[in-house]
Amino acid sequence: MGGLQKKKYESGSVTNYVSRNKARKKLSLSLADFRRLCILKGIYPHEPKHKKKVNKGSTAPRTFYLLKDIRFLLHEPIVGKFREYKIFVRKLRKAYGKAEWSGVQRMKENKPAYKLDHIIKERYPTFIDAVRDVDDALSMSFLFSTFARTGKCHVQTIQLCRRLSVEWMNYIIASRSLRKVFLSIKGIYYQAEVLGQTITWIIPYQFAHDHPTDVDYRVMATFTELYTTLLGFVNFRLYQTLNLVYPPKVKHTKCASIKCVFKDMHLHISYQKLSALSASLARTVPLVEDEEAELDLFPAEGVSDRQLSYIRMCCTLCRCFGGQVSWDKSLCIGSTYDETDETITHHIVDRPTIDKQYINRYYIQPQWVYDCVNGKILLPVEEYFLGVTLPPHLSPFVEESEGDYVPPEKLKLQALQRGEKPQDDDEEEEEDDDDDDEDDQSEDEDEANLAEMEEKRAQGKSLSVKVTPGKVKPENRMRAEQEEKAEEKRLAIMMMKKKEKYLYDKIMFGKKRHVREANKLAAKRKAHDDSNKADKKKKKKKC
């Protein structure tokens, strides 16, 4: 037979994949640059269907990229920029070594820079795509905006992140698109609906970060680079849709009274005012002020810088839902009215007590605001007064399907939402207790009778024979039917094929585990409630 012998691993799926190192060499980039490129261009590895074949018979763990992806990277202008930057660094090093300071200066001025605009356009060809993917960008930029100048990243990046996150928050307020908020132990989750897309992001609590050593900040910085660009463009477009000026400006600029000599100073103050999130933004087309029913006024009062951040969070919420907010003037810039204002309805305080209290307003803890937002109703304020043990704060993201465990607080909230009046739990509980007692008593009586009879029989005494009319045991038809059906099912399961049986068992196992978990939670809750009740009773008795 003629013809050349076919060589192994030269055709088929092997030709579609390329290992990471090969790809790197093809692009003639260092590993770090390759990584950056992949992050920026959104190229991720692919898992071949037959790994051993693609790996040319070896089973070594290797990362594979699609050859098409790598070819696509080949004509990316940024690759050239990376190389330029490498050369720039080399030249700069040389100039430093030779102590050519003027050369260093000149080179630094001509530092090669690149823009990611085209990549954003390419990765997100439509605006909706970009909005859909903005979750991670927001979380990252909010995280970076909380960083201090510790050298973990460039100061410009931090400032940019702060600016973009404040802009985003302002948009959320202006568009009133916030839907859910959740105070978790990790940070605060926000969920907004922007142009029909549900976007969730998390903001860490305002603390100094304990920077971990096992985190590669270069990777994070690369992501942030991409995300800030994306977020900037998204913000721009979103502001445009609302007819707002971008970059945002505060509408009623009282700053005019502050004669700012330096431009920078002025910028700083306006940024601060903006980040206070308390004032509405200037519009490109002036709107006729629509008369909004002013829901509430929430002055918050705080002391430390940390509380300042809380105020901002609270403020975002309230303003998202049409409230007005202010705080003590001495705290920070941007307060719109005074604490002594008579029209204030709710006063948010996060401390055990407060000295001077006004009669015509409620003093409540901040959780009330969050719970109201999640419940979409004004909850009764009694449970949230100062110094009161707060009711549990539930996650608004959990949507219980059938068979899941629903915490009783959620049930209560749902009842409130339906407009049912909340019943007084304590009374109900007491009634329940009484019922239980009665049941117990009757059961006890029965048992006592039986025991008596048994005793007599044991002693050999002739029982006083008495014929009592027998009770007709009602045949429970429903139950019988159910049993029959269950048996039918059992028998049918016997006839399943092995493969299907395996799948069926697996599904049923998962379902059972689900039920078990739900039951466990319910049992735990019951135990907790019981112990609580017992404690209460003890206290009552003592009284």
Partner 1 sequence: IGYGRGVFIEITHRCRTRFKVALATSENFQLSAVTSVCARLSQTKKSLFSDQSSAWFISSPSCVMFLWRTVKWAVSLLVFITFSVRSQDIRNTVGNIPMEWYKDYPHIGYDLDGKKIFKPIRNKDELDEFLDKMENPDYWRTVQDKMTGADIRLSDEQVDLVHRLQQGKFGDVNFNEYEPAIDFFSNEVMIHPVTNRPQDKRSFIPSLIEKEKVGKLVHAIKMGWIKPRRPKETTPQYYDLWAKEDPNSILGRHKMHVPAPKMKLPGHQESYNPPPEYLLSEEERLAWEQQDPEDRKLSFLPQKFACLRAVPAYSRFIHERFERCLDLYLCPRQRKMRVNVNPEDLIPKLPKPKDLQPFPTTQSLVYRGHSSLVRSISVSPSGQWLVSGSDDCTVRFWEVSTARCLKTVEVGGAVKGVAWNPNPSICLVAVSYDDTVVLLNPGLGDRLVCTATDQLISSYEEPEEVMDQSVQWAVAEGEGHEQGHRLILKHPKAVRQVTWHGKGDYLACVMPDNGSSLQVVIHQVSKRRTQNPFRKNKGLVQCVSFHPIRPYFFVATQRYVRVYNLIKQELTKKLMANCKWISSMAIHPGGDNVICGSYDCRLAWFDLDLSTKPYKVLRHHKKALRSVAYHRHYPLFASGSDDGSVIVCHGMVYNDLLQNPLIVPVKVLKGHTITHDLGVLDVTFHPTQPWVFSSGADGTVRLFT
- By CB under 8 A, what part of segment 270-329 binds partner 1? 307, 310
Residue 383 touching partner 1 (CB under 8 A):
no
Between 217 and 337, CB nearer to partner 1: 217
Token pair listed for 202: 């998390």
Query: Shortest CA distance to 407 belongs to which of 512, 511, 510, 524?
Result: 524
Residue 500 touching partner 1 (CB under 8 A):
yes
Name residues contacting partner 1, limited to 173-192 (CB under 8 A): 182-187, 189
Q: Is there a cis peptide before residue 112, judged by omega within 30 degrees of 0?
A: no
Helix (H) or strand (E) holding 202, with range, is strand 197-204
> Which residues, including other chains, have CB under 8 Å from residue 216's CB and lie 6 or more apart?
none
Name residues contacting partner 1, limited to 410-429 (CB under 8 A): none
Give the x-and-dash track for 68-107 against partner 1 (CB under 8 A).
xx--x-----------------------------------
Candidate residues 287, 463, 465, 491; the one interacting with partner 1 per rule CB under 8 A: 491
Residue 55 touching partner 1 (CB under 8 A):
no
CB atoms within 10 A of CB 425: 10
Candidate residues 175, 229, 270, 316; the one interacting with partner 1 per rule CB under 8 A: 229
The strand pairing partners of 66, in sequence order, are 17
Query: Shortest CA distance to 63 belongs to which of 86, 35, 82?
Result: 35
* Pairing relationship of beta strands 324-327 and 197-204 according to DSSP bridges: unpaired
Residue 362 touching partner 1 (CB under 8 A):
no
Residue 507 touching partner 1 (CB under 8 A):
yes
Between 471 and 477, CB nearer to partner 1: 477
By CB under 8 A, how many residues form the interface with partner 1?
Answer: 106
Candidate residues 50, 148, 216, 486; the one interacting with partner 1 per rule CB under 8 A: 216
Residue 509 touching partner 1 (CB under 8 A):
no
Token pair listed for 402: 């059938």
* Pairing relationship of beta strands 297-300 and 187-194 according to DSSP bridges: unpaired
Residue 235 touching partner 1 (CB under 8 A):
yes
Looking at residue 385, its amino acid is: F
* Secondary structure letter of residue 206 according to DSSP: S
Name residues contacting partner 1, limited to 191-210 (CB under 8 A): 200, 204-205, 207-210
* Secondary structure letter of residue 497 according to DSSP: -
Between 304 and 357, CB nearer to partner 1: 304
Name residues contacting partner 1, limited to 118-147 (CB under 8 A): 120-122, 124-127, 130, 132-133, 135-136, 139-140, 143
Candidate residues 148, 354, 398, 411; the one interacting with partner 1 per rule CB under 8 A: 398
Q: Interacting stretch for partner 1, rule CB under 8 A, among 233-241, 411-419, 429-437, 472-480?
A: 233-241
Burial pattern 63-91, b for ≥16 Cβ within 10 A else e, equals ebbbbebbeebeebebbebbeeeeebeee
